[in-house]
Amino acid sequence: MSISTRLINLRNLEGGYISISIENGYFTNSNNLTSNEEDCSGLTIIPGLVDLHTHLREPGFEDAETILTGSQTAAAGGFTAVSAMPNTDPIADTAGVVEQIYRLGQTHGICDVFPIGAITVGSRGEQLAEIRAMNTSAAQTRIFSDDGNCLSSAILMRRALEYVKSFDGVIAQHAQDPQLTVDSQVNEGVISSRLGLKGWPAVAEEAIIARDVLLAEHVKSRLHICHVSTAGSVEIIRWAKARGIQVTAEVTPHHLLLTEDLVENYDPLFKVNPPLRTQRDVEALRSALVDGTIDVIATDHAPHPIERKECEWANAAFGMLGLESALSVSFKAMVESKLIPLPKLIEKMSVRPAEIAGYKDHGSIEVGKPANFTLVNFEKNWVSRPRMSKSSNDPYLGMTLPVIVQATYLRGRKVYSRNG
Ligand SMILES: [Zn+2]
Ligand SMILES: [Zn+2]
């Protein structure tokens, strides 16, 4: 059966008005469709957002999020594809587990879920996981990370980088020297001293990034740096890119907007890994996104059940929700502040992440391609509260944010609509 839809009076990112036709899940330019017409005046069409860094918690931590609720949360944030980090239980370190995650995502059909495989068995940093088997599985995993943990062994990092070269894979590093961050709670500096909380020095991130870009250069392989959070990290990545090293980097919306000052009242909502840093770091991260040193914005959506966040600071889990607010927060940090124009922001949140991960069905609005897109109202505000996630650790709770995601479409099917 042929299913066709036509959306008229849409705005595109250049500010013009367009109409689009969808047939059997693909964008078409056919004009004589017999179809439902929907007038979308005022809404802007963007390619579905793509996240390189999401925690969906299933299998093992379904009290925090599931692949279903995570997909619904992603769709509500305008995402059509997310990369699921492997720190589940069991860890996604075998072909069996990545396939299970991938198939569950496909079964729900709300957002494409692409599992990231663990680099090492159990993400314990002791021996390489079955990287090849995960890549050749139905999940076709191409990105590998021990996220949550840093892969601190230089020899394993070297071997992993060598290993993924044959299939153009990517090693994504959570850069945190474990010895420099034992019991660390907040950014190391004046505020950590005043609060009496163990500091988390910038050098713990920077030292690992410096080592890893050199390893990536040595073996000529692809390295991706997760959640860059310091001005020093930006300088190292900028230097590495200038040398032609194959490194890409991401920054989270929260590191683009929030600073360490928010931890002063010991509210664990602002406890995150890496920690919120200084205003100077925030400015360096924004500039790095403008000049391309940082390639993409990734959410690091990290849901936690209420008992893991509503407790004493030291006992609380690290992490914040991010999928539903990502577009709004990034827009506020980068476009409202006039640092980049809107099309550039969408490039950082859709086009470029799809390129890095090789998600060919995402990141573009093009005749002949699957109709994965989002309709957005850039003129309206909303008050942040988590609506789809199973968890409620939203650092923007109650804050008025710009930009409303009105509807999200996956392969031509409306998978989310703000009006129900
Ligand atoms: Zn991480
Ligand atoms: Zn993470």
Q: Is residue 195 part of a domain?
A: yes
**What's the CA gap between 42 and 250, in Å, rounded?**
31
pLDDT, average across residues 82-86: 98
E strands, 195-256, are 199-200, 223-225, 247-251
pLDDT, average across residues 246-274: 97
Give the pLDDT of residue 419. Answer: 77
Span from the CA of 233 to the centroid of ligand 1 (angstroms): 15
φ/ψ (deg, to 5) at 247: -120, 135
Span from the CA of 226 to the centroid of ligand 1 (angstroms): 6
The model's pLDDT over 361-404, given as tens digits with 9 standing for 90+, comes to 999 999 999 999 999 999 999 999 999 999 999 999 999 999 99
Give the number of whichever ligand sits closest to the CA of residue 175.
1
Domain boundary among 306, 322, 357: 357
Average pLDDT over all residues of the chain: 96
**What's the CA gap between 217 and 249, in Å, rounded?**
15
Regarding pTM above 0.75, the answer is yes
Q: Are residues 39 and 53 in the same domain?
A: no
Q: Are residues 115 and 260 in the same domain?
A: yes
Domain boundary among 330, 357, 384: 357
pLDDT score of 36 more than 80 = no
Give the pLDDT of residue 41. Answer: 84
What 3-state class would DSSP assign to 4? strand
**What's the CA gap between 304 and 321, in Å, rounded?**
8
pLDDT score of 2 more than 80 = no
**What's the CA gap between 383 and 401, in Å, rounded?**
6
Give the number of whichever ligand sits closest to the CA of residue 150.
1
Q: Are residues 191 and 226 in the same domain?
A: yes
- The encoded tokens of residue 320 equal 């914040």
Q: Provide the domain count of the chain.
A: 2
**What's the CA gap between 94 and 99, in Å, rounded?**
9
The model's pLDDT over 406-416, given as tens digits with 9 standing for 90+, comes to 999 999 999 99
pLDDT score of 418 more than 90 = yes
Of 180, 51, 25, 37, the C-alpha closest to 111 is 51
Span from the CA of 400 to the centroid of ligand 2 (angstroms): 26
Q: Is residue 286 part of a domain?
A: yes
Annotation marks residue 89 as catalytic: no
Q: Are residues 149 and 13 in the same domain?
A: no
What 3-state class would DSSP assign to 36? strand
Q: Is residue 32 part of a domain?
A: yes
Span from the CA of 151 to the centroid of ligand 1 (angstroms): 11
Q: Are residues 186 and 252 in the same domain?
A: yes
User: Binning pLDDT at 50, 70 and 90, where does residue 1 land?
Assistant: very low
Give the pLDDT of residue 34. Answer: 66
Residues facing 18 on adjacent strands: 10
Q: Is residue 363 part of a domain?
A: no
Span from the CA of 6 to the centroid of ligand 2 (angstroms): 38
The model's pLDDT over 156-184, given as tens digits with 9 standing for 90+, comes to 999 999 999 999 999 999 999 999 999 99
Give the number of whichever ligand sits closest to the CA of residue 53.
2
| Domain CATH number, residue 120 | 3.20.20.140
Of 184, 224, 220, 223, the C-alpha closest to 204 is 184
Give the pLDDT of residue 420. Answer: 46
Q: Are residues 73 and 104 in the same domain?
A: yes
User: Binning pLDDT at 50, 70 and 90, where does residue 196 land?
Assistant: very high
Q: Which of 212, 300, 361, 394 is catalytic?
A: 300
Span from the CA of 390 to the centroid of ligand 2 (angstroms): 17
| Domain CATH number, residue 393 | 2.30.40.10
User: Binning pLDDT at 50, 70 and 90, where does residue 122 land?
Assistant: very high
Span from the CA of 249 to the centroid of ligand 1 (angstroms): 13
One-letter amino acid at 118 equals A
pLDDT, average across residues 1-13: 84
Q: Are residues 29 and 56 in the same domain?
A: no
pLDDT, average across residues 124-134: 98
Q: Is residue 364 part of a domain?
A: no
Span from the CA of 91 to the centroid of ligand 2 (angstroms): 14
Q: Is residue 262 part of a domain?
A: yes
Q: How many CB atoms lie within 10 A of CB 19?
A: 15
Domain membership of residue 212 as a residue range: 49-357
Q: Is residue 264 part of a domain?
A: yes
Give the pLDDT of residue 38. Answer: 86
Give the pLDDT of residue 207. Answer: 98
